[in-house]
Amino acid sequence: MTSAGIIKRLQNGLWHDNPGLVQLLGLCPLLAVTTTLVNGLGLGVATLFVLTCSNGLVSATRRWIKPEIRIPIYVLIIASLVTCIELIFKAWFPTLDRSLGIFIPLIVTNCAIIARAEIFASRNPIGKSIVDGIGMGAGFAMLLIVIGAFRELVGQASILSRLDMLVGGEPFDGFSFADSGLLIAILPPGAFFSLALAVALKNHFDSKR
């Protein structure tokens, strides 16, 4: 795979074919956990890891997998990887694990992951599939971070609150700009508004080109 090809794959995941902004996959975790930047970052990194490994494993085993049983095998691979990442979070990031709650195990049902296994990794060599996983995972993580930061800024008038969940140390309330924010941004409707705004902005940039 040439370096131009790698860049093109990454661009595809990050922008042109972004799982959240364009394919609109994996919206359940995207809408539910993005109340703060740190939450978005945590789930984003976990999803990136699972997506990259599952693409690699699916691609590596594609020769032996018959089309009839491909779905159970994808589910098996993805569920195992998610269990591993859940254990790793519980061991090294226990507070972040509690903050993300059920959404770590629910990565199993993130349709962006099985979609990449089905559409891409099952038909492409392992290197290409891993790059695709990194690109798509990073694209999804980027969107989680942007929406998390936006909702935190608007809803709590702060940024990077609970950074201690990632780096340890004393509880950290973030850099605060005002006493209170616009509550609706943190509530579920705010998630829909933020995502709609992000999709609209992307389409706006694309149409200007």
Partner 1 sequence: MSSGKTIVSTGVTLAIIAAICTALVAATYHLTVDRIAANEKALLEQSLEPAIAGMLYDGSVSESRLVISPPHDLPGSGAAIIYRVYAEDRPVAALFVVTARDGFSGPIRILLGVDAAGVVTALRILQHRETPGLGDTIELARSDWVLQFDGKSIGDPVIGGWAIRGDGGDFDQLTGASITPRAVIRAARDTLIYFAAHRDEIFALPATEEEQ
Where on the chain is the footprint of partner 1 (CB under 8 A)? Answer: 61, 64-66, 68-69, 72-73, 76-77, 79-81, 83-84, 87-88, 90-92, 94, 155, 171, 180, 183, 186-187
Q: What is the DSSP string of the chain?
A: --HHHHHHHHHIIIIIT-TTTTS--SHHHHHHHTTSHHHHHHHHHHHHHHHHHHHHHHHHHTTT--GGGHHHHHHHHHHHHHHHHHHHHHHH-HHHHHHHGGGTGGGGG-HHHHHHHHHTGGGS-HHHHHHHHHHHHHHHHHHHHHHHHHHHHHHHSEESTTTHHHH-SS----EESSS---GGGTSHHHHHHHHHHHHHHHHHHHHH-
Nearer to partner 1, 4 or 64 (CB): 64
Q: Nearest approach, Cβ of 85 to partner 1 (angstroms)?
A: 9
Q: Nearest approach, Cβ of 80 to partner 1 (angstroms)?
A: 4
Q: Nearest approach, Cβ of 131 to partner 1 (angstroms)?
A: 22
Nearer to partner 1, 68 or 204 (CB): 68
Nearer to partner 1, 87 or 197 (CB): 87
Nearer to partner 1, 93 or 142 (CB): 93
Residue with tokens 């990077």: 160
Per the rule left: phi > 0, alpha: psi between -120 and 50, beta: everything else, 24 is left
Nearer to partner 1, 33 or 77 (CB): 77
Q: Nearest approach, Cβ of 41 to partner 1 (angstroms)?
A: 20
Q: Nearest approach, Cβ of 207 to partner 1 (angstroms)?
A: 36
Nearer to partner 1, 12 or 34 (CB): 34
User: Is residue 204 a contact partner of residue 44, using CB atoms and an 8 Å limit?
Assistant: no
Q: Nearest approach, Cβ of 165 to partner 1 (angstroms)?
A: 13
